[in-house]
Structure 1
Amino acid sequence: MIDYISVFIFFFAVIDPVGTVPVFIAATSQFNEKEKRKIALQAACAAALILLFFIIAGELILTAIDIPLPAFEIAGGIILFLFALTMIFGDSKPDTEMQMVKDSTETAIFPLAVPSLASPGAMLAAVLLTENSSFSLFQQMQTAGVMLSVLFIAFILMLAASWIHRFIGNSGASIISKVMGMILASVATNSVLSGIKVYFLL
């Protein structure tokens, strides 16, 4: 059995469903309610397919190019840490990704599915949390289920985006994003330390 709570928090931090709300509002401002629901569904499904691909094939790709998973875990942890720092000290996720909307043509795919939901951090998390040598197939399926549940929450929040935005505003979404950044920084540090430990034990 996996630790559902820690895996859920990890994916919630890297996917950041709340931070996607203002991005969704900005990206779909010119669409009617029916089109918004369609875009929300397409974005969530596209993100799910992308992250499931990394769960299934991510480690296989690393093996094919002869990169040990501990090295990827260290690199991934460093990247996640830098990603977390941008969430804490730089522009928040909503601020950064709303700037991408100006040039967006395929709204559901960009910037909603990628990079808002299926962010680089989420792709790395999908690989790190389903390591074949550490997790059984059943545990990997559990992790995939938790990841899909976070994406489902993101889908629900996008459907309720207008109401949520009126309640928390851009500032509220930015604050939540920074808190998620703190959690992610802690997880990333642990990933680097774990990777170093395993690498030197090989």
Structure 2
Amino acid sequence: MIDYVATFIFLFAVIDPIGTIPVFIAVTSRFNKKEKRKVAIKASLYAAIILLFFLAAGEYILTSIEIPLSAFQIAGGIILFLFALSMIFGESKPDIELKIAPKESETAIFPLATPSIASPGAMLAVVLLTENASYSLWEQTQTALVMILVLIITLILMLLASHIHRVIGNAGASLISRVMGMVLASVAVANVLAGIKEYFAM
């Protein structure tokens, strides 16, 4: 049996439901309430599909093409770091992404479903937490259920984002986005360093 609390905290950190709020607010700023609700639901559903796919097949894919988990960890860390930089320095990242994703269905996929919710770090986390050599099928199922719980929390926070936005305002949303960018950058660097250490220890 897995440690539910530790797994929840780990997945909550890498999926980062709170950090998704400013991204959601920014990319849905010109949508009405009904459209925002659709985007939130679709983004959560797409993210769940992506993460469940990596949970079930991620290790097999990496093994089949002979890519060690450490290399995936380094690559994920680099991508996450670049994403974090765009959050910190963005001209603003939301403005750029709004031009790229003009439709609600596209916005739900990018940047919300990925890389905001199903980030490289989250993909890596579900692969590592369900490694076949270390975890039974039942334990992997438990991890999947915890992951879905975190995604439900993410959905709830996105649905409440308008109320949260009223309290924190645009300045608060921008501040949260940049602070979360710093946190993500730190997590990214830690992933890269851990991957390098594991790679050379092989």
TM-score by length of 1: 0.76
1:109 maps onto 2:109 in alignment: yes
1:12 maps onto 2:16 in alignment: yes
**1:100 aligned residue:** 97
CA-atom RMSD in angstroms: 2.9
Consecutive unaligned residues in structure 2, runs of 5 or more:
none
**2:161 aligned residue:** 161
1:162 to partner: Cα distance: 1.9
**1:38 aligned residue:** 38
- The answer to whether the 8 Å contact 1:104/1:111 transfers is no
**Code of the aligned partner of 2:25:** P
TM-score by length of 2: 0.76
Count, aligned residues: 195
Consecutive unaligned residues in structure 1, runs of 5 or more:
none
1:201 maps onto 2:198 in alignment: no
SS at match of 2:28: helix
- The answer to whether the 8 Å contact 1:41/1:155 transfers is yes
Q: 1:85 to 1:145 in 2, by over 3 A?
A: farther
**Code of the aligned partner of 2:154:** A
Alignment of 1:73-152 (within 5 A): 73-87=73-87, 89-91=88-90, 95-102=92-99, 103-105=101-103, 106=105, 107-152=107-152
SS at match of 1:200: helix
- The answer to whether the 8 Å contact 2:11/2:150 transfers is no
- The answer to whether the 8 Å contact 2:24/2:158 transfers is yes
1:69 to partner: Cα distance: 1.4
User: Could you tell me which of 11, 23, 27 is aligned with 2:26?
Assistant: 23
2:116 and 2:191 map into 1 onto residues whose CA distance is: 22
**Code of the aligned partner of 1:26:** S
- Per mean C-alpha deviation after superposition, the further-off stretch among 144-153 and 155-164 is 144-153
1:138 to partner: Cα distance: 4.2
Deviations 1:85-116 (A, max 9, x none): 333x3228xx4134333442224334433444
SS at match of 2:16: helix
Q: Percent identical across equivalent pairs?
A: 57
1:160 to partner: Cα distance: 1.8
